[in-house]
Structure formats: C-alpha cells, structure tokens
A and B are shown apart, each in its own frame.
Chain A
C-alpha cells in the first residue's frame, strides 16, 4: 500500500495531498519512520527513494503459467556457413543486389540453407522481391519456414505445410478440401502444384469447389498453375476456361491448351491451319509450300485468341491472322509431317510470297513451345540472311535453352566483326537474350571485344548505353573463376573518360563479388 500512497501524493502534489501518510509497521514503514519530516517535499522524495529503489533492487519476475508452443522442427539441410551468409547479407541490398538470385541458386544447388541470423533479412527481401520468393522459400530451411508461419507477411515461404503435402500424397480428399477452403491464394497455388503431382483428379475436384466464387485475379493466379506440364485430363477444365468472363483467363487457357499434345483444342487448331498452309510433293522430288489465307476474318477465330487487326508495322491484317494461327502449332508438327529438317523448311519458306509471315509464325511457335531445334535453325537462318541486329532483336525472349549452341552462334558473330563491340554488332541482341553463365571461351571473347572497344579512345571516348548494359550483364554472366583474368587487360583509362572508368570498376567489383561467392561455396 505504501507505494500507492507515495504515488498518489506525488501525482497530486504535496500542496494538495499534504504530508505522506503510511503505517509505521513492516519493513518499509520501519525504515521510513526514521526519515526526517521537516519539509513535505523532501520527506516524500526520501520515502520514494527508499521504496522505489527497494522495488528496483527486489524486482520479482512474473511467472509463465501457460505451456509454450511446439518448437521448430529439426533442420534437414546444413548451414551454408558464416562466410557465405556474410556475402548474402551484402547481396540482399546495395551494390551487389543483382547477384542475390545467383547466390540463392548456389545455396539451393548445394542443398544448404541460410544461417539463422540472416533469416529475417532474407524473408523481408522476399516481401519486396516477389520473383525470388520461390528461391527464398527453398533456402530458408525448416527454421525459416517455421518463422515465416509466425508472421503473415512472410507466409509466402511456408505455403505448403507438411500436413498438406501428406494429404496430397495420400490423396486424402476431405483434408485437401478443408485445407483448400481456408488457404490464402498463394497457398492455394502452391497446394495445387503439389496436388497436380500426386492426385490430379482430386486436384481438379478441389479446385472446382471454389472456382465459381473466385475473383478474376484469383482465377488468373490459379490457372497459371497449369502452365507447367499440362496434362490431357486437365483439358476439359481448361476448355471450360475458354468461356471465362475474364479475357486474361481465356488467353492463358488458350496458351496452355495449345501445348497439350493431342488435345482436342490443338486438333481443332490443326484442322484450321491445315487449310491455310500446305506442303505438296513435286513430281521430280522435293516439296513446295503453298499458302491460302481467307479474305475475311471469321468471328469464330476469336475463341482461339486470334486478333482481327494487325498491330505490327508492315504486316497486313491477313498476314497477321496467318502468323497467329501458325504460332499456335508446335513447329515440330511440320518437321514430322514433311520429314524435313527445320533448316530445309525455312529455306523452303523463303521462296514463298508469304515468306515473312511463315517465318515469323514459326519463330513465335518455336518460342511458345521452347523447341530448341527450331530456335537454333531460325537463328542460323537469320544469321545467313542480311543479318543486322534489327533482324534478330526480340526474336526470342531467351536463348538460354540452346546452351552450348548459343555460345557457338554468338562466337561466330563476334568473329565476323572483330574490331569492336559497337552498338550495331549482330552479337549484341543474342548476348542480351543469353542470360545463362557463359562458357569461358565466350566470356573471354566478349570481354576482349569490350576491352578493344575501350582502347579506341577516339571512336568511343565514353561507353555507349549498350556497352554499359553489356558490361553490367557480362559481370553476371561470365565465369566468376575468370575474375583475376578480367581485372587485367584493360587499358589505362584517363580521367576524361570517367564513364568508362566507372563502368569497368563496376564490372570488376561485381565479378570479384561473384568470385568470392563461388570460392566460399567451394571451401565449405
């Protein structure tokens, strides 16, 4: 009670509350009764000093009476180590952030996990960089997933719980329906991916239980899950999606359906396309190509995602209809029915009055179906013709799937124009589309070309935008084990060429950082 008396007196003030009153029994009382009471304020302060200090020195902690939640499950992955974690911390923000995805891949490839002390930073990084969420969730380990389950903003990292995976493995429909009905959209997408692997029939039933009530944004997210490895038994669901109210859902469904071999949708497409393009055997050997395009647009075509008006420069509406139809057929179909190679079919197409439309259509089809034989043949075809960079740029969003063949193609182009890597160099667009780690040979060729460009002080006093961009991407693509080599070989760059200086410095620093990452991983 004494402390309450003191506090009341102190809050009201001695002017209003008068002299502090207390019982003179007990420890506090006994101690306080020895204090002088000459002036009210000093007396109150002395009493407060005794009591408050006594309480401070005698702090008694509260007791926990409730049971603690279960601790985090045991880790199955090993820690990537302090050194690597330190580098990752540098890569999360700041100068080396462009290396962050690669660092995550390195840890993932080694089947390791991030150190505990870095989990919060890395989970926060995933909130800001959604494209890295999958990679992050794969390297945070059990502790990271457990931590993410405690904080809603990190829920992306623990989308599929072990309970859900077990239910999918056992095809436990009732559990899956129940989990699905309470899951967030992101959790549903992750769960759907698991169910499509282990129990595809149940997956469709579970999905359809809430499909009609989903918003357009939700339906788009969910239907995107079918992009990877669509199966023939999923065709009815995707067919129904062709009538969806959302254009985007319809567009994605069409795109997926074209990639299901033997689907009714692709058969219907083939039936239409075969009216437009025909391969005829010549009497004296060889084949010819003939193209017939209707004069008017059939409104039924809209069901297949065909646009009526062309938006491509120099391409008329009829050519545009044709290009869109051709792009829906996997190009492998043409090599199968003609028994010709992609290269010979491309040469054949060159002779047609609709050559551009055919080749653009096949190019789009090759990109859509990721057919590497066709992609390579198309690149070589463009290479042989009047190849300037404009004819190659934007052909394919990526040529990573061509692997070594892409290296050869780019080196061939570098060899053809060896003096410098100027802005119109035909290798530039290919280098931009090749985001894999480059081979040592390609790396050396590219950097030597840039170094030659740098030496041309009159022609290129400062690097152009393209050269800077190439140096930036080269820092992420060249083999990091060549860092020592690439720190040398540069000319002495004087002060007037400050942009070259900063571009080269940026390149060498980034490359050195990647080198340290790889070194760190190999030491572990």
Chain B
C-alpha cells in the first residue's frame, strides 16, 4: 500500500498558489473515469476537454508525475488531484492492480534512469582532464579579476565613508553586482544587491552595512589567500561566491543514514525563482541539516517536503568548515518518526553553538535554534522570546506571524524552532507533545 501524503505535503507540490484550487476542483471523483493504485504508484484517467481522457500517473517512491494533458505547469492539476483524491478517499482506488502499459513503461524508464546515477560522478564522466583543468583555471582567473575589482570598490566605499551611502541609488549596487555575475561570483552579487536596502532599515544601519562589507572583504581576502587556507574554508568561500558543486560528485561522499524529519521551512522568492529552506533533524544523532530546493516559475519543488515530513534518508553534507547544508542522496518517506531524542536548548546554549559555528564559518547567514521553554512577549511594536533564565532574543522585525506564536503559547513556555541571523530570531515551528506546528 503506497504511503499517504498529507494535504500539506500535496499542497507543497503545487507549482504556485493559483494551481491549488484547480487541483482541488479536479480531485472531484466525478471527474475521474478510473483511479487505481499499485505498490508504488497511483494512476487514473481524467475527463478532460479533449475527446480522449487524460492519463495521469504518480510515482510515489520519489513523487514524480506523468500526465497526457497539455498543461505547461508541473505538476499539472491532474497529478495533484490524483494525490488529493487518494488522500481523501483511498478506498475509491482499485487496489493491487498491475499497472497498465503506459504506467509500467514510464515507471521502468524512471527506474532505469536512476541506476546509472549511482555509478556516475566526475570519475565516471568521460571528460578530458586537461580541458577540465584549463576550464577551472579560467574560472579562477575570472573570479580573481572580479574580486580584485570588488576589493577596490569596497576600499572606495570605506574611503568615502558610509555617510554617503543613503544618497546612492540602486544602480550603485547593481552595477558592481552585475560585474560579479559576469566574473562568475553570483553569490557575491546577491550579497551586494541585498546591501542596497540596508541604509533604509532604521537606526543602526551603519553597523549592519559595515558587517556586510566586512563579509565581502573577507571573501576577497580569503580568495586571494586560498592557497594558505584549509580546504573546508576554501569550500565555504566558493559556496559563498556562488559556485555550485556537482551533486554527483557530492554523492560520492558518505552520508548520514538515519530517520530525518522536517523541523521547519522558509520560502523566499526572487526573480521568479522560489527557494525553499527545509531544516531537517535526524532521529538518532539530533543533527540538523539544511536542504535547499529551488523551483522556477510554474514548476513545483522537486521533493514534497513540509513541516513534519519524515523520511528514512541518507544526507550528505556539502564540504564546509561548519557543515550545515545537506543533500538527499537517497530517501523514502515514512510515517514513523520518534521525537523522543530532540534536544532543545536555552537561549544561551543556542548562542554558544552559534558562536562556534560562526567562528568556523563567518559567512554563515542563518543558524537553527531549538529554543527550550520560551515565552513570546510584545513590547510596543517589537516582539521577543524570553527563556527560563530571563534571557531575551528579539524576533525579526519582518516576522509577520507573532500572534500565531502567542496563540500557541498563551504565555506558557513552549519549545520553538527557528532561524537566528546574528541579530534576530525567525520562528518557524513550535514543538508540542503532539508534534510540530507550523508557524
């Protein structure tokens, strides 16, 4: 019997908000001629606007979709509708059937495409090492040139003084950011573009801006002196500059096999690219990893994850002086996850861990906090959490759901999971005896 995805997990698959309602509408039983389920898949035939019904199938092992409808959205409403219908009324699905040919062929093709991946990686690729080396040298040289310009630009900013910054327009930042993109350092470009708004963030902006400038400065210095730095620090510099690591290479490394559960998620969108940060925790070692997924335009995130989703998985961490980001080497969803091992900490204990992390990896932008027994309180327009030791953490001024947190607490201590960015805390979920509650 295939695993049921929860409503939240199905909704998380939607390519955009506007696709949810059509999928709900299409999940009406009357709209399906047949629905059936096998060991690892669902399939059905849906009434459509064409003369022939649409053939829709869902691979439940890694959640993949196939549909004969002409929709450009992915997954289309029929794929999501089939999952919604199954979640709501599994009894309607004919069970134990051998899949029809169009489903079995698709599943076989998917399985076949998975196998070579395990053998692959840079070692298995048939590229020319000399060419690769040349390419890599050119890349380093481009970035080095770009960062040298950035260094000059940063020195100019410091020479003229931050007091000049509020009078600068967006193009001041955008032109140097564009240069960084050309140089092959999109990560540096992102940091620069984010800096454009800091002067408008109210009192204390000068120090916040200087902190960003300093991080870029460290990046240029670190890149220049990379030969003298440990590999893990060089990896952090490359990652911060925006270099991608080939996942096939990454999967050559050993990962952590365990049961993992999504503790909390945050979504951001920029230029039609949606990013999803999912923080996951392992059952045995209590280790936390960050999974980053991206979706463009109308496409769905590749894996349906929502707060509370549990899976048996092997997670490989990206190389770093403080490994945090991970990738799913293999996974299968599970319904049995025990939270008994989850350790929450006081504010001070969390800050101590953060201290070690940021000392090892100064470009770390966010760090996961599992706060023990905190109470949310409001003071004027500001919100805070206070723990049993009377220590206070400010909530981010952009956090727009403090009332949801207060509703969960009722001024009684609660365990809260969220992200600390060095200045403020952003709650993502509340840990209750019944499980995780999304905030």
Contact = CB atoms under 8 A, between A and B. Distances in A.
Given A64-B390, A512-B28, A49 B214 contact: yes
B154 interface: yes
A45 interface: yes
Nearest to A47: B214
Given A45-B217, A505-B25, A508-B30, A7 B210 contact: yes
Contact of A10 (B88, B210, B401): B210
Interface in A122-163: 143-144, 146-147, 150-151
Question: Per DSSP, are chain B's interface residues mostly helix, strand or loop, or mixed?
Answer: helix
B271 interface: no
Contacts of A144: 407
A48 interface: yes
Contacts of B359: 53, 57
Interface residues of B, number: 58
A39 interface: yes
The 3 A-B residue pairs whose C-beta atoms are closest, nearest first, are A13-B161, A72-B410, A71-B411
B163 A41 contact: no
The interface centre, meaning the residue of B7, B210, B347, B411 with most chain A CB atoms within 10 A of its CB, is B210
A524 interface: no
B355 A61 contact: no
Contacts of B214: 45, 48-49, 52-53
Contacts of A94: 21
B18 to A, nearest CB: 12
A516 B359 CA distance: 53
A149 to B, nearest CB: 11
Contacts of A62: 391-392
A267 interface: no
A63 interface: yes
Given A58-B355, A59-B351, A70 B28 contact: no
Given A57-B359, A63-B391, A487-B30, A116 B159 contact: no
Interface stretch (A14-22, A299-307, A321-329): A14-22
A61 B403 contact: no
Nearest to A86: B7
B292 interface: no
Contacts of B296: none
A70 B411 contact: yes
B111 interface: no
Contacts of A13: 158-164
A174 interface: no
B139 interface: no
B88 A516 contact: yes
A28 to B, nearest CB: 15
B386 interface: yes
B24 interface: yes
A458 interface: no
Interface in B174-228: 206-207, 210-211, 213-214, 217-218, 221
B354 A59 contact: yes
Interface in B370-418: 375, 377-378, 384, 386, 390-393, 401, 403-404, 406-408, 410-412
B358 interface: yes
A65 interface: yes
13 contacts: A13-B164, A15-B160, A41-B158, A49-B362, A61-B347, A61-B393, A72-B412, A116-B437, A117-B404, A117-B437, A120-B401, A508-B30, A516-B88
Contacts of A116: 407-408, 410, 437
B151 to A, nearest CB: 8
B118 interface: no
B49 interface: yes
B155 interface: yes
B348 interface: yes
Nearest to A44: B158
Interface string A501-520: 00011001100100010000
A10 B206 contact: yes
Contacts of B391: 61-64
Contact of B218 (A7, A49, A504): A49
B410 A143 contact: yes
Contacts of B351: 59-61
Interface string B409-434: 01110000000001000000000001
Contacts of A505: 25, 28, 30-31
B29 interface: yes
Interface in A60-81: 60-65, 68-72
A68 B413 CA distance: 11
Given A68-B411, A94-B21, A147-B406, A495 B211 contact: no
A86 B434 CA distance: 15
Contact of A49 (B21, B159, B217, B403): B217
The interface centre, meaning the residue of A3, A48, A82, A516 with most chain B CB atoms within 10 A of its CB, is A48
Nearest to A119: B407
Interface residues of A, number: 60
B438 interface: yes
B422 A59 contact: yes
Contact of A61 (B7, B21, B31, B348): B348
A62 B425 CA distance: 14
A509 B25 CA distance: 7
A15 to B, nearest CB: 5
A69 B411 CA distance: 8
A140 to B, nearest CB: 10
Contact of B411 (A14, A40, A57, A72): A72
A269 to B, nearest CB: 52
B404 A120 contact: yes
Interface in B11-58: 21, 24-25, 28-31, 49
A64 B213 contact: no
B208 to A, nearest CB: 10
A367 B31 CA distance: 44
Contacts of A69: 377, 411
A313 interface: no
The interface centre, meaning the residue of B7, B207, B375, B393 with most chain A CB atoms within 10 A of its CB, is B207
Contacts of B206: 7, 10-11
Nearest to A15: B159
Interface string B253-285: 000000000000000000000000000000000
A143 B351 CA distance: 31
Contacts of B384: 64
A500 to B, nearest CB: 12
Given A15-B159, A86-B7, A143 B407 contact: yes
A494 B28 CA distance: 17
Contact of B163 (A12, A143, A504): A12
A11 B358 contact: no
A64 B386 contact: yes
A95 interface: yes
A184 B347 CA distance: 40
A116 B378 CA distance: 18
Contact of A117 (B24, B407, B422): B407
Contacts of B159: 13-15, 40-41
B161 A17 contact: yes
A68 B347 CA distance: 17
Contacts of A120: 401, 403-404, 407
A508 B29 CA distance: 9
A71 B408 CA distance: 12
A53 B358 contact: yes
Contact of B28 (A7, A45, A509): A509
Contacts of A42: 155
A97 B290 CA distance: 37
Interface string A1-37: 0010011001111111100000000000000000000
Interface string B76-88: 0000000000001
A505 B24 CA distance: 11
B257 to A, nearest CB: 30
Given A11-B161, A117-B437, A65 B390 contact: yes
B11 to A, nearest CB: 10
